[in-house]
Homo-oligomer: A and B are copies of this chain.
Amino acid sequence: MTPPTIRDVARHAGVGIGTVSRVINNSERVSPETRQRVQEAIRLLGFRPNKTASQLSRGMQIRNVGVILPFLTFHAFTERLRGVQIVLNEANYELVLYNISSPERFDEQLVEICQNKLVEGLLIIALNLTPAQHTLLEDAAIKYVCINDHCQPGIACIGPDNVVGGRVATEHLLGLGHHKIAYVGDSFPDNYGFLTSYDRYTGYYETMLAHGVLPRPEYIRLGEHGKDVARLLTTELLNLSDPPTAIFAMSDIQALGCLAAIREAGRHVPNDISVIGFDDIEISSYVGLTTVRQFLEESGRLAMRWLLWLLNDSHIGTPLQLPLPELVVRETTRRLP
């Protein structure tokens, strides 16, 4: 059944469409009885004005940009959203938020988005595009920028340098005299095909080698993303006959899991063992976690600003760059006695 239109209502109420329009727009120039009749017809038919038509007719066009991301529940993502909002508040765009519930649904949703033509631009956070998906977007004339670890050439993309970040973390630990340094992170590649963990691990591995210390296989603990898995992995580490004196967790959330495991084991941070995370989400400052900052909010700001340029100046300006990951020393790392 095609939904009822203003014309159906008019016929039903025995009035002209102009009157119906007046009623739904609360114009004064309608007699109470007529209004009454029209409103009844509206209720009867379950009529709901078509916003699209209304907008078109009144010549106003609402500009939307979309943000699409996999986990609204991840701090590293919501914190970027803040940056996005900051930029958008100035611009005259509405923000449409798409949250991918599972990897499989991403493609579906992208197709929908392209068909809808609701948004003019799309900010794609932590999601890898296939070539097919690129052309899909191009064809739909939807401009997009990605926040992503691995920037593909020719597409607007910003992201942190995770290898450098891994190095920064590892050098900090090494500089404190630690050699028995463990790595706790996501298995790579993860479900979304991401290599974040791999890169941070690479930074760790190379730095260790460069300093002449060979990372021990039993110190590398990989698992699904999340605090609890990290907690388990850390417990395993602590139970080793020769446990590490420091842990580099690939994310702050996982670092919090490490902290929990260490506390449960009755050990103390940073006296017994040092922990460094990665991301510098807001929580970290609250709990005093030493970490590597990757400028989350700023990445949201930059990316959205770039998208807006694309939309309005229609040429990629100077590619925007994020600062390199930066060490933030707080209270969970300490010089090895």
Given contacts A72-B81, A95-B96, contact A52 B55 (CB under 8 A): yes
A330 to B143, CA, bound (A): 48
Is the Cβ of A54 less than 8 Å from the Cβ of B117? yes
Q: Which of B48, B85, B101, B139 contacts A72 (CB 8 A)?
A: B85
CA distance A287 to B260 in the complex (A): 8
> What's the tally of chain A residues with a CB closer than 8 Å to chain B?
45
Contact of A89 among B54, B78, B99, B141 (CB under 8 A): B99
- Whole-angstrom distance between the alpha carbons of A139 and B95 in the complex? 24
Chain B residues, Cβ within 8 Å of A99: 85, 89, 95
Contact in complex: B116, A62 (CB < 8 Å): yes
Minimum CB–CB distance for A274 against chain B, Å: 18
A6 to B44, CA, bound (A): 39
Is there a chain B Cβ closer than 8 Å to A56's Cβ?
yes
Check if A270 is an interface residue, CB within 8 A of chain B. Answer: no
Q: Does A314 contact B (CB under 8 A)?
A: yes
Residues on B with beta carbons closer than 8 Å to the beta carbon of A97 = 85, 95-97
Known: A85-B99, A227-B286, A286-B256. A61 touches B50 (CB 8 A): yes
Task: List, sorted by A's number, 6 A–B pairs whose CB atoms are closer than 8 Å.
Answer: A50-B56, A52-B56, A54-B117, A85-B97, A94-B116, A286-B287
